[in-house]
Amino acid sequence: MAAQEPSPPSSMENNKPGFPKKILANKLEDKHLCNCCQNILRRPFQAQCGHRFCSYCFNRTVGSGPQKCNACIKEDIFEEPTSILKPGCAFPDNAARREVENLPAVCFNEGCSWKGSIKDYELSHEGKCEFMILPCPLCKELIRLNEQERHNDRECPERTLNCKYCKEPFHFRNIKAHDEICPKYPMICEGCAKKKIPREKYVDHIKFCSKFRTPCRYHVVGCDMSVEKEKIHDHERACAHEHLNLLLHYIMGMKVSLEGLQPQSLELAGHKAHELHQELRDLEARVSQLSAIPGPTGPPVKGVPSSSSSASSSSAGASVGAALELQLHSKKTKVADLGRRCQELEVKAGTFEDVVCVLNREVEHFATTMEASNRQHRLDQDKIEALSNKVCFLFRCNLVQMLIFIWPKRKINSDSL
């Protein structure tokens, strides 16, 4: 009966090379080494030539086809077909496996005191040592296995967090950028000092917050005060005189600008437009004269140079006409551009006039307000004076009554004495 071929190693046995030499507690022997990876044998297989290999190393070697045994070549004992490695020519060496698995082992990770056999190392410690150094999958920093959870939760700069306000995920390195755009981020009102106002509601809050400081409406003319909203009317009443002075200076400056704009720019533009229109009419007249030139047999036109050759006269007229057409086109472009500039200046002048009208209305409004405030002040002074007179009158009346009441008693007492 034919001998049964050994079954190939399972996928679990075929995914790792040999054990590192550093785990062996005793002296290392060559018979325990894989002839391919030069590490301690893991699931050893023995080839026909007698050399041992890890199951992973053997399958990787013969995966691309039959190969020559490098160990046989190195020992100068190579012979065919015995030294040819190919699938099915090796068998599991269980005796060597038991011998290797019973060897004493230690953990080579710094700080770890684990001891046992190679079998125990493979089953319960390999890849599970708390002192094993691993790269962080996100930031690639080397960290111990027992520190990996803390690193992932607290230290990794590439870790992902959930905002505690809006619950949206973001990278830790972007925490400041997220805080600046988070719609739920709590803000503090600069006016009323209210805390924990979500950013998305902050604008609505300051619209109605009476303590929020806002620039004075006359900041466009020079008032640099920032006033609480509830005190803005008091500020305008108290600083009405200063506001009127600022408005006056602003209006006078605009008036000077308008006076410098209209007489110079608009008048100059008008003269230029008139000159261009005159040149345009002259060019049109010359073009109409050239268009009236007859053929070769016709009489010469007055003002056009005559020539003995009619062909040369026609070509000269054509060239002059083309030149005049170009000049006419250039003048028309200049006229159109100047007209557009005049329109822009007129629009600007109209805008300035509208602004001046609005400011004049504001000045009139402030003058009315000031007059009403002065009138109210006079009324209040009159009321205060009337109340003072009334208090004085009542005081005199009470004093007279007291004297009338006290005087008869004094007279009676003096008579009795």
Per-residue CA distances from 287 to 146, 291, 310 (Å): 98, 6, 20
Phi, psi of 194, rounded to the nearest 5 degrees: -70, 140
Maximum Cα interatomic distance, the chain, rounded to a whole number of Å:
168
Q: Mark whether 373 and 278 lie in a shared domain.
A: yes
Segment 210-260, tens digit of pLDDT: 888 888 888 888 888 888 888 888 888 888 888 888 888 888 887 777 666
Q: Mark whether 241 and 295 lie in a shared domain.
A: no
Mean pLDDT of 380-400: 86
Residue 149 belongs to some domain of the structure: no
Determine the structural domain holding residue 370 and report its residue range: 265-405
Residue 146 belongs to some domain of the structure: no
- Output the pLDDT for position 34: 93
User: Among residues 79, 104, 125, which one ends one of the domains?
Assistant: 125
Phi, psi of 227, rounded to the nearest 5 degrees: -125, 145
Which percentage of the chain shows pLDDT scores above 90? 15
Q: Mark whether 286 and 397 lie in a shared domain.
A: yes
- Output the pLDDT for position 52: 93
- Of 222, 226, 215, 216, which is closest to residue 250 (Cα–Cα)? 222
Per-residue CA distances from 47 to 35, 149, 296 (Å): 11, 45, 116
Higher pLDDT, 96 or 266: 96
Segment 153-176, tens digit of pLDDT: 888 888 888 888 998 888 888 888
Q: Mark whether 283 and 385 lie in a shared domain.
A: yes
Please, how many CA atoms are within 13 Å of residue 286, restricted to the half-sphere of its CB? 18
What CATH number did the domain enclosing 109 receive?
Answer: 3.30.40.10
Dihedral (C-alpha) 163, 165, 168, 173: value to the nearest 10 degrees? -30
Q: Mark whether 78 and 117 lie in a shared domain.
A: yes
- Output the pLDDT for position 310: 47
Q: Mark whether 241 and 352 lie in a shared domain.
A: no
User: Among residues 260, 295, 325, which one ends one of the domains?
Assistant: 260
Q: Mark whether 237 and 323 lie in a shared domain.
A: no
Segment 33-62, tens digit of pLDDT: 999 999 999 999 999 999 999 999 999 999
Q: Mark whether 279 and 255 lie in a shared domain.
A: no
Are the beta carbons of 158 and 152 closer than 8 angstroms? no
Residue 163 belongs to some domain of the structure: no
Higher pLDDT, 362 or 184: 184
Residue 194 belongs to some domain of the structure: no
Residue 351 belongs to some domain of the structure: yes
Residue 372, number of CB atoms within 10 A of its CB: 10
Mean pLDDT of 272-282: 73
Q: Mark whether 246 and 352 lie in a shared domain.
A: no
d(CA 149, CA 126): 19
Q: Mark whether 254 and 385 lie in a shared domain.
A: no
Pairing relation of β-strands 52-54 and 67-68? unpaired
User: Among residues 99, 125, 151, which one ends one of the domains?
Assistant: 125
- Block residue for tokens 């056009």: 304
Residue 300 belongs to some domain of the structure: yes
Which percentage of the chain shows pLDDT scores above 70? 82
Q: Mark whether 120 and 45 lie in a shared domain.
A: yes
Question: Is the pLDDT at 198 greater than 70, yes or no?
Answer: yes
Partnered with residue 105 across adjacent β-strands are: 24, 116
Q: Collect contacts of 73-77 with beta carbons under 8 A, ≥24 apart.
A: 77/49
The confidence band for 105, taking pLDDT boundaries of 50, 70 and 90, is very high
- Output the pLDDT for position 207: 85
Structurally, the chain folds into a number of domains equal to 3
Residue 100 belongs to some domain of the structure: yes
Q: Mark whether 280 and 370 lie in a shared domain.
A: yes
Residue 135 belongs to some domain of the structure: no
- Block residue for tokens 């020539």: 307
